[in-house]
């Protein structure tokens, strides 16, 4: 039976996988699942990485760990994000290889897509042009996982692969207003505004469009990929193109979920970032035609409820 090591096990996606494994029967008879947090090992350090693999002896790895930050931190520290993530990824993949791990599923990010491109973006287009300037260090480090996976296959026949989710949100996210992801930061902002009776000010025009995926849906799909997806080439895990919504629509859903009746302002002096990053989930749909995604308004409502009920432990 599989012994699965999940790096980044205490983060947004790690917690969602843990929930699916423990609460939804995602774990099969005899399997062992180990959720590793950065407190247990600093994966930038190769010795600590090796110690973890020796301790748990995994047969399979889900690699989620990364050094991440908000947009503005990435803009200031591209070199640090590049170096730390290259080290983490090389340490995990090479140690997995040396330990005889049969399969690794790593998590990439939609920020790796080329900045200047045609839409929708699919899996074959990842390396066709530079990523967005704002976080080029992180993006290039993430792209290298795909390059490295191909090399492990070519040289050793390893089935090490990667998934590319679009914008993930859900319980246990980083809800920090300065450096959280857009949806979770807006949930925190709206929650505060409701408590204080003040308006919500949204950065930018509200016009950019995004595909949002609920962390529990993503967790179910990553477990499917670990068990069933046989390719080394990456796969985009996302809702469909038609499910892309504007930031303004997202804010309205959050306001409804939190029962916020105040005013919503858009600060158009603030940057909008990329206007869209539309990804195709055609490959996923061909392989898994019947998967049903949680409707966005329900997923936002569940995330808002979790945030309100766990405000004291949430990352804010």
* Model pLDDT, residue 71: 65
- State residue 87's pLDDT score: 98
> 299, 258 in Cβ contact below 8 A?
no
**Residue in 138, 160, 214, 229 annotated catalytic:** 138
In the block, which residue shows the tokens 């290259």?
86
pLDDT for the residue numbered 272:
84
Q: What is the mean pLDDT of the chain?
A: 95
Across the range 102-108, mean pLDDT stands at 98
Residue 229 maps to a domain? yes
What CATH number did the domain enclosing 230 receive?
3.40.50.720
pLDDT of residue 243: 96
Q: Give the ranges where the chain is alpha helix by DSSP (H).
A: 12-23, 46-56, 71-76, 78-98, 136-156, 182-196, 215-228, 247-257, 282-287, 296-309
The token duo for 222 is 């990553």
Report yes or no on 42 lying in a domain.
Answer: yes
For the segment 184-195, what is each residue's pLDDT rounded down to a tens digit? 999 999 999 999
Structural domain range at position 119: 3-169+211-241
How many angstroms separate the CA atoms of 296 and 298, rounded?
Answer: 5
Average pLDDT over residues 187-211: 96
- Whether 278 is in a domain gets the answer no
The Cα–Cα gap between 230 and 11 comes to 26
* Helices and strands (H, E) in the chain, number of each type: 10, 12
307 domain residue, yes or no: no
| Residue 279 clears pLDDT 90, i.e. is over it | yes
Catalytic site includes residue 311: no
Distances (CA, A) of 291 to 105, 179, 216: 19, 32, 13
Could you tell me if residue 39 is inside a domain?
A: yes
The number of domains in the chain is 1
Q: How many residues belong to the chain?
A: 316
- Residue 178: predicted pLDDT: 84
In this predicted structure, the answer to whether residue 310 has a pLDDT above a threshold of 90 is yes
In a domain, 289, yes or no: no
Best CA proximity match to 92, nearest among 61, 69, 67: 61
**pLDDT of 291 strictly over 80:** yes
Q: What is the pLDDT of residues 12-44, one digit of tens each?
A: 999 999 999 999 988 888 999 999 999 999 999
The pair of three-digit structure tokens given for residue 249, joined into one six-digit string: 């629509």
What would the two tokens of residue 62 be? Answer: 């889900």
Over residues 200-223, the mean pLDDT reads 96
Spatial CA neighbour of 214 closest among 155, 269, 295: 295
Stretch 53-59: mean pLDDT: 98
Please say if the pLDDT value at position 217 is more than 70.
Answer: yes
pLDDT tens digit sequence for 69-88: 766 677 778 999 999 999 99
Mean predicted confidence (pLDDT) in 255-278: 92
Q: Cα–Cα distances in Å, from 49 out to 30, 119, 162?
A: 25, 38, 20
The rounded distance, in Å, linking the Cα atoms of 51 and 113 is 34
What is the C-alpha separation between 221 and 213, in angstroms, rounded? 11
């Amino acid at each position: 039976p599989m012994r699965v090591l999940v790096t980044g096990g205490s983060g947004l996606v790690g917690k969602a996988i843990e929930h699916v494994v423990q609460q939804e029967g995602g774990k099969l008879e005899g399997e062992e699942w180990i959720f590793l947090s950065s407190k247990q090992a600093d994966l930038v350090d190769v010795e600590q990485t090796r110690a973890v693999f020796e301790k748990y002896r995994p047969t399979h790895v889900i690699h989620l760990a990364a050094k991440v930050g908000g947009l503005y931190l990435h803009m200031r520290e591209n070199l640090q994000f590049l170096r730390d993530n290259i080290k983490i990824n090389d340490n995990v993949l090479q140690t997995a290889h040396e330990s005889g791990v049969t399969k690794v599923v790593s998590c990439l990010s939609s920020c790796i897509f080329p900045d200047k491109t045609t839409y929708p973006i699919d899996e074959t287009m990842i390396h066709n042009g530079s990523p967005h300037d704002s976080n080029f260090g992180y993006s290039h480090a993430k792209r290298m996982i795909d390059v490295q996976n191909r090399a492990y296959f070519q040289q050793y026949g390893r089935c090490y692969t990667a998934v590319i989710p679009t914008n993930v949100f859900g319980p246990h996210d980083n809800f920090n207003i300065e450096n959280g992801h857009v949806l979770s930061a807006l949930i925190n902002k709206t929650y505060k505004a409701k408590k204080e009776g003040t308006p919500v000010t949204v950065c930018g025009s509200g016009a950019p469009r995004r595909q949002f995926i609920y962390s529990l849906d993503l967790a179910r799909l990553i477990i499917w990929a670990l068990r069933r997806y046989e390719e080394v080439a990456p796969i985009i895990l996302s809702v469909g193109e038609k499910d892309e919504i504007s930031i303004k629509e997202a804010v309205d859903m959050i306001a409804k979920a939190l029962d916020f009746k105040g005013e919503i302002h858009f600060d158009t002096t603030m940057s909008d970032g990329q206007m869209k990053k539309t990804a195709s989930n055609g490959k996923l749909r061909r392989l898994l035609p019947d998967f049903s995604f949680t409707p966005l308004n329900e997923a936002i409502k569940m995330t808002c409820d979790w945030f309100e009920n766990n405000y004291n432990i949430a990352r804010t």
